[in-house]
């Protein structure tokens, strides 16, 4: 990090822009400064503060795997001032980045286990990072199952990668869209993520579940996982609270005693159960 000024972002050049879904884009970003480019490391699950310089900063996770060197990626949905300003940027434009901040998924502790990833809507980015990280260390893990759902077919992001995962024999991918939103060509499942999870009923034996999605999906997914026999310390998720600084100073992201930016964003369901409902 910049030793002088903790608020000073690194400048990054946008290498590619990919439209993922309506109002959702992925940037591939490269540090302009060579030294930082070579020095920068992060762990899967961490996030950063991305700035549309002159407009402000926004919090996104790093959506690429730490095993990829030379660039990072972020995927964001246009929801407000900064994200709209970022969406105006194109290839070769410069944006700011501070980070990485926060804790990470303890993937080394998952060695020799089955992995079950469950994501809903725009919440796939943090999971995409950890999925690729684990796939790049494929021999360390047993079965890998991904359940991913969105409201509509259009809103499924990373379509290209979904295809890659689908084609891999060492990954089981289940995609689903909300009832009524299936298109004639749709070959995946139809139903809400928790329902589909219940249907697929993956074994909880020697398995960790990693869940990311809108609060409502999370709320209904946890009970299904518990029904399937997952213990709360084997269920992981990430929290999103409004953030400004990213390092525990601006005072807004706490859930009770815990600062999401420093102690999170990755939490186990067990930890969440002990926290008050402030997220």
Partner 1 sequence: MNIENKLLKLSSLEGLVLKLNQDGKQVFAPVKKDNIVNFAPVSAFHEMTQDYIVTARSAKFVVFPRVETILEMQFSKDNITLKDKDLSSIPDAVLLGTRPCDAAGFKVLTSIFEGDYIDNIYVTRLKKTTIISISCNNYDAKCFCTSVNVHPGGTAGSDILLTRIDNDNFLAEIVTEKGKEIVNKFDTLFDIAPDVNKDSLVANVPVEFDLSAILGKIYPRFESDIWVEQSLRCIGCGTCAYVCPTCGCFDIQDVSDGHNGQRKRSWDSCGFDLFTLHSSGHNPRNTQSKRWRQRILHKFVYVPEQDNILGCVGCGRCSRACSVDMNLKEHLINLIGELTK
Partner 2 sequence: MDSIRKRARELLEKNTVKVVIGYGVGSDNTVRAIFVRRPEGVEELIFDETCVQNLAVYLLKNEIKQIGKLCIIANISALRTILQLASEHQIHEEELLCLSVTPNGELLEFTGFKDIENYISSCNRDLPDKESEMIKKLEKMSVDERWQFWMNHLSRCIKCYACRSACPMCYCTRCQVEYNQPQWITVEATLMGNFEWQITRTMHLAGRCVNCGECARACPEDIPINLLNYKTVLTVKEKYNISAGTNANIDSVMSSFESDDKENFIR
Q: Which letter, b or e, does each residue of 19-30 get, where b requires 16 or more Cβ atoms within 10 Å of its Cβ?
A: ebbeebbbbbbe
Strand blocks (E) in 151-212: 172-177, 189-190, 207-212
245-to-19, 52, 62 alpha-carbon distances in Å: 28, 15, 16
| Span from 20-28, 63-71, 168-176, 239-247 in contact with partner 1 (CB under 8 A) | 239-247
* Residue 187 binds: one of partner 1, ligand FAD, partner 2, none (C-beta under 5 to 8 A by kind): none
Region binding ligand FAD by CB under 6 A among candidate stretches 3-11, 75-83, 225-233, 271-279: 75-83
Q: Is the dihedral of CA 240, 124, 131, 244 positive or negative?
A: negative
Binding site partner of 75, from ligand FES, partner 2, ligand FAD, none, Cβ cut-off 5-8 A by kind: ligand FAD
Binding mask 211-240 for ligand FAD (x = CB under 6 A): -----------------------------x
Interaction residues for ligand FES, span 193-252 (CB under 6 A) = 243-246, 248-252
- CA dist., res. 176 & res. 193, Å (int): 7
50-89 residues in contact with partner 2 (CB under 8 A) are 80-81, 84
Q: Of these, 134, 208, 245, 266, which contacts partner 1 (CB under 8 A)? A: 245
The sign one gets for the Cα dihedral 140, 145, 149, 154 is positive
56: left (phi over 0), alpha (psi -120 to 50) or beta: left
C-alpha angle 36-42-45 in degrees, rounded to nearest 5? 145
**Burial of 138 by CB count in 10 Å (0-12 exposed, 13-18 middle, 19+ buried)?**
exposed
Q: Contact between 65 and ligand FAD (CB under 6 A)? A: no
Q: Encode 1-68 in three state secondary structure.
A: CCCCCCCCCEEEEEEEEEEEECCEEEEEEEECCHHHHHHCCCCCCCEEEEEECCCEEEEEECCCCCCC
**Could you say which of 15, 55, 161, 182 contacts partner 1 (CB under 8 A)?**
55
Nearest to ligand FAD of 60, 104 (CB atom)? 60
- Could you give the CA distance from residue 239 to residue 255 in angstroms, rounded to a whole number? 10
Nearer to partner 1, 11 or 190 (CB): 11
Q: Which is nearer to ligand FAD, 194 or 246 (CB)?
A: 246
Q: Which window, 55-63, 138-146, 184-192, 204-212, contacts partner 1 (CB under 8 A)?
A: 55-63
Is the bond leading into 265 cis (omega within 30 degrees of zero)?
yes
**229 versus 256: smaller Cβ distance to partner 1:** 256
> Which residues sit at the interface with partner 1, rule CB under 8 A?
1, 4-9, 11, 51, 53-57, 79-80, 83, 94, 96, 215, 240-242, 244-245, 247-257, 276-279
Where along the sequence are the contacts to ligand FAD (CB under 6 A)? 47, 56-61, 63, 75-77, 79-83, 122, 125, 240-244, 265
> Which parts of this chain interact with ligand FES (CB under 6 A)?
243-246, 248-253, 259, 261
């Amino acid at each position: 990090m910049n030793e002088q000024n903790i608020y000073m972002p690194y400048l990054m050049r946008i290498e590619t822009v990919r439209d993922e879904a309506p109002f959702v884009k992925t940037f591939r970003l490269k540090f302009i400064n060579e030294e930082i480019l070579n020095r920068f490391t992060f762990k899967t699950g961490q996030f950063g503060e991305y700035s549309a310089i002159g407009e402000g900063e926004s919090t996104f996770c790093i959506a690429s795997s730490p095993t990829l060197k030379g660039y990072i990626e972020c995927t964001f949905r246009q929801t407000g001032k900064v994200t709209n300003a970022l969406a105006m940027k194109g290839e070769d434009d410069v944006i700011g980045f501070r980070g990485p901040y926060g804790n990470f998924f303890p993937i080394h502790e998952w060695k020799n286990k089955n992995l079950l990833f469950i994501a809903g809507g725009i919440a796939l980015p943090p999971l995409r990072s950890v999925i690729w990280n684990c796939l790049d260390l494929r021999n360390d893990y047993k079965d890998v199952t991904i359940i991913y759902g969105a409201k509509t077919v259009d809103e499924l992001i990373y379509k290209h990668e979904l295809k890659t995962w689908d084609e891999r024999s060492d990954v089981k991918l289940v995609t689903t869209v909300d009832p009524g939103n299936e298109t004639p060509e749709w070959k995946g499942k139809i139903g809400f993520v928790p329902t589909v999870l219940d249907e697929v009923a993956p074994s909880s034996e020697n398995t960790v579940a990693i869940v990311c999605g809108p609060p409502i999906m999370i709320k209904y997914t946890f009970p299904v996982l518990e029904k399937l026999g997952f213990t709360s310390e084997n269920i992981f998720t990430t929290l999103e609270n409004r953030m400004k600084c990213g390092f525990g100073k601006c005072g807004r992201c706490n859930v009770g005693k815990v600062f999401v930016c420093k102690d999170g964003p990755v939490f186990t369901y067990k930890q969440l159960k002990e926290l008050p409902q402030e997220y």
